[in-house]
Structure formats: structure tokens, C-alpha cells
Homo-oligomer: A and B are copies of this chain.
Amino acid sequence: MLREQIQKFCESEYDFYKREDIVKSSEDFDSNVWKLFAEQGWLSMAFSEDSGGLGFGAIELSILFEEFGKSLVIEPYLATVVLSGSLLDKSSYPHKNELIEQICIGDMHISFAYAEASNSYDYLSVNTSLDSKNVLNGTKTLVLNGGNANKIISTCTDGNELKIVIFDTNTNGVSINSFSTVDGQSCAEISFENVQLDDKNIIASGEEAIELVNKTINLATLCICAEAVGCMESCYTKTLEYTKGREQFGQPISSFQVLQHRMVDMFIESELAKSLLIKAMLEVNNNSEDMTKHVSALKSYIGKAGKISAQDAVQMHGGMGVSEEMMIGHYLKKMISIDALFGNSDFHLKNISN
């Protein structure tokens, strides 16, 4: 039901031309579309009822992202709702409800600054420092949607333990440099120079902070994997459609056995990826002990199979495949960005092999 709702929305409100308009506009996303997301309840669905949300979990988020993947939705749902919102939701931060409420109605964007230049996927090794007087210094990189955020959630260390802080982006000493991403979104490099915070800016410390980072990244990883699974299905269905309509040498190119078997491979890989997604989303939903392992298995699989699938889709679309004006090349760019985020295929394979 949720799936049908999203599909209907994407069909009527978010076709490829609409998406292209947003990508080409000076804004990183369309605030009207974001408002529609709020109206559909999508911005609140993932939060617990205590925090004012609808209390849905990993399963619904996976479905949402799978459909987002099919339509290549570029709104900053991952940054604001999944990364920042869920982190707040799971935290014991006393002010979280007012923030979550603002996210739910679409009035606030928060970005989570978890990455630094040198930590290569180990998000618990943090150099950004918070001194005893709550002064923050450091540089965060690849902050998703950072250029559009009202607030930043950042990891830092007091020299002793991990801390998570939140503050307005217009606080003195915060400078933000925003860049476009390969999938048409944006990310920022953000530096903190003697940013003065106080105790109420601190969301969590120590064990709680570590658990929040791990669970948040794990959930976000699941979400982009679901997005990849949606991409893979679309790569397959769109290629099938294209090859059936495209004539060469007097026959549709779908009649060539080599292309048929390659599409069969795309279909099979898409189904296998879907299976791993189902497993992983159930494990995360149950908060099982093995959930990280299952998410890593999924991430390692889609990183490789997804890229191959998108490359094959481009190849079988011929010249059309490399044209910016066709949707198909954008799936490949999406798969590149998904593989890059939160550890690539080899990294996650190592995670489960060791």
C-alpha cells in the first residue's frame, strides 16, 4: 500500500522531466516537492510515535527508498530524515521532539556530519575536537545536503570520548562549501573554527554516541541499498523496454540472443539483490544482533552487481545510454554514488569475511 502510494506519486509528480528541472535549477531540491512529502506523511513515518512520528521502521523505509531508486528521487530524504532525524529519534536528547516535529512538517533540514577526510569509513575515528569549554574545531567532509541545512549534527571528540553535537549552521565560525554530487544532489565540506557551543548542544556522549553513529549509519546504508535495488529493477525493465522497441538490421534488438541472456542476467541479479534486501530489512527491523552483517552482505552485493547492471543497461541503450537527457545513464551515476557512500563493495565484503 505504501509502495503503491509512492509509485503513484512518482508517476504523477516526479517524472524524469520534473527531476531534470530540479537538477538544472539553482536549488538542490524542490521545496514544493518536499512539502508534498510532508503531506504524504513520508517525513514522519520513520519516527517513533513518542517522538511524534508514525512509528514505522526499516521495512517501510526500504520500500520508500526502493521506489525512490526507481524514480531517482533527489530530495534530501537520506540526509534530513534518515541520518539526522533517526539519530535524534533514537537519542535521549531532551530537545529532540521539537526538532523532529519541524522535520515532519518539512520546515527544517538537518545534516549529519559524520565523515572526515582521513577516516576512510571508520566514522568513530574523529579528529574534530570539542574542548572543555565547548569550543568546536575541525573539518567535516562530504556532508550530505550540508549546503541547505538549518542545523548540523556533528561527531567530535573531547579527547576522551566520542560526542555528538547539534547547532545552527549560521553559528559563528561555521563555514560551508557546497558541491554537487554525481547523482544530482549536493554535499558540503564544513569547517568549524572556534565554534562556541554549550551543554544543551550536546546530543550524546560516549557509549550512547557510538551506538547512535553505528545504528544511524547502518540504517542509512540499508536505505541506499534499497535505493540501489530499485535502480537495478529499473535498469532491467527499461532496458527490456528499450531493446523491444529499438530496431536494427530489420528486427528489434531484443531478438538477439546475446542481449536476451544479458537481460536475463540483469533480471536474476535484480531478484537476488531484492532477496538480500528483504533479509537485511527484516533483520534491521528486528534490531537483530546480526543486522550489521546482513546490511554489509547486501551493500557488498549491490555495489558490484548494481554497477554491472547499470553499465549493461547503458551499453544496451547504445548512444542513448550515454546521453544526459535519457534517464538510463543516471542510474549508473546513482550506483556510483551509492557504492561510494558508507563503504564500498570491497570494504563491506571484508567486514563479513573477517
Contact = CB atoms under 8 A, between A and B. Distances in A.
How many copies of this chain does one complex carry?
A: 2
A257 B261 CA distance: 10
Nearest to A257: B257
A249 interface: no
Interface residues of A, number: 4
A1 interface: no
Contacts of A258: 257-258, 261
Interface string A57-100: 00000000000000000000000000000000000000000000
Contacts of A257: 256-258
A256 B257 CA distance: 7
Interface string A234-268: 00000000000000000000001110010000000
Nearest to A259: B257
Contacts of A261: 258
Nearest to A256: B257
A258 B257 CA distance: 6
Nearest to A262: B258
A258 B258 CA distance: 5
Interface string A261-287: 100000000000000000000000000
A68 B17 CA distance: 63
Nearest to A261: B258
A257 B260 CA distance: 10
In the A-B complex, the 5 residue pairs with the smallest Cβ-Cβ separation, listed nearest first, are: A257-B257, A257-B258, A258-B261, A258-B258, A256-B257
